[in-house]
Amino acid sequence: MSGAADEIPETLARFRELGTECAVTLRGRSMEPAYADGARVRIRGSGARPEPGDVVAFLDRGQVVVHRVIAVEGREGSFRVRTQGDANAEPDDWFDAARLVGRALEPPHPAAAPLRAALRNLGAGLTAAAERCGFPVQALLGATLPDEAVLGRTPGLTTQDLERELFVRDPSGKKVHVLNATAREIFLALDARRTLAEVAAELGRKYGRDVKDDVLHLAGSLLRRGLAERRAAP
């Protein structure tokens, strides 16, 4: 989730040193439900080493991005950070301490992100990337799968389940996908025995809302990423 600061000081080092606060208006849904699209968030300048779970602001291609820390490597003064939006299926690239702007002051971390927000944002991230690169959006997103489709997880994948997120390594061992808690749930539900409509109905009962369109969309994304494959109906 990116933001436009009302008053980001010109000298980032001074901003962090003084612990100055500024207001940032967020754009995007990657931090729902903690931060909605259009929310105004107070950022306190800090160059101190963050901890996993902190919500931080950092610079990325001229914009201020507000995401949650999932990993930190290195010591105070010389470290790098990896973040992920609460509603994103995969983490951001690592960045070094020089790009850290500070910490978001509120709100507290939610117990769990709603299913709809987490699934919707997977496609939103791809859409943004397509628009920046000038590619047709549909070339990346593809068509939504039919609800009678049956998918199974791709054989040969290696997984490490941490309950709130799932690490999935492809058969070549060269690429790792990190799925957040809600994306993990969809991935694990692809058992090659149920149609996507049946998977969506089960999750809809659990979350108390209609999530079929979102399940179909995410299933298509998993298929295109090589994490799932079409199977014959049982």
- Among 70, 104, 138, residue at a domain's last position: 104
Residue ranges with strand state E in the chain: 2-5, 21-27, 40-45, 55-60, 63-75, 78-84, 95-96, 100-104, 150-153, 158-161, 165-169, 176-180, 191-195, 228-231
Residue 222 belongs to a domain with what CATH number?
A: 3.90.930.60
Structural domain contains residue 63: yes
Q: Are residues 74 and 138 in the same domain?
A: no
C-alpha to C-alpha distance for 64 and 57, rounded to whole angstroms: 6
Per-residue pLDDT at 2: 55
Q: At what angle do helices 212-224 and 115-133 cross, to 10 degrees?
A: 50
Structural domain contains residue 109: no
The answer to whether the beta carbons of residues 218 and 149 sit under 8 Å apart is no
Q: Are residues 143 and 214 in the same domain?
A: yes
C-alpha to C-alpha distance for 9 and 64, rounded to whole angstroms: 12
Residue linked to tokens 């995401």? 67
Structural domain contains residue 110: no
Q: Which of 24-38, 66-80, 127-141, 220-234 has the highest mean pLDDT?
A: 66-80
Between 209 and 73, the higher pLDDT residue: 73
Mean pLDDT of the chain: 75
Q: Are residues 158 and 221 in the same domain?
A: yes
pLDDT in tens, 120-164: 444 444 344 334 333 333 333 344 678 899 999 999 998 888 766
Per-residue pLDDT at 90: 86
Q: Are residues 185 and 208 in the same domain?
A: yes
pLDDT in tens, 31-62: 887 788 888 888 888 888 998 888 898 888 77
Domain count, the chain: 2
Q: For the ranges 65-69, 119-123, 171-175, which has the lowest average pLDDT?
A: 119-123
Neighbours of 135 (CB within 10 A): 12
Q: Are residues 216 and 120 in the same domain?
A: yes
Q: Are residues 122 and 99 in the same domain?
A: no
Q: Are residues 92 and 192 in the same domain?
A: no
Residue linked to tokens 């208006």? 25
The sign of the torsion formed by the CA atoms of 217, 221, 224, 229 equals: negative
Q: Are residues 92 and 146 in the same domain?
A: no
What single-letter amino acid sits at 183? A
Q: Are residues 67 and 156 in the same domain?
A: no
C-alpha to C-alpha distance for 178 and 155, rounded to whole angstroms: 17
- Among 85, 104, 123, residue at a domain's last position: 104
Is pLDDT above 90 for 198? yes
Q: Are residues 93 and 11 in the same domain?
A: yes
DSSP state letter for 47:
-
pLDDT in tens, 104-126: 886 533 333 334 444 444 444 43
Q: Are residues 135 and 174 in the same domain?
A: yes
Structural domain contains residue 140: yes
- Among 81, 104, 127, residue at a domain's last position: 104
Domain that holds residue 59: 2-104
Residue ranges with strand state E in 76-113: 78-84, 95-96, 100-104
Residue 76 belongs to a domain with what CATH number?
A: 2.10.109.10
Cis before residue 107, ω within 30 degrees of 0? yes
Is pLDDT above 60 for 8? no
Q: Are residues 224 and 127 in the same domain?
A: yes
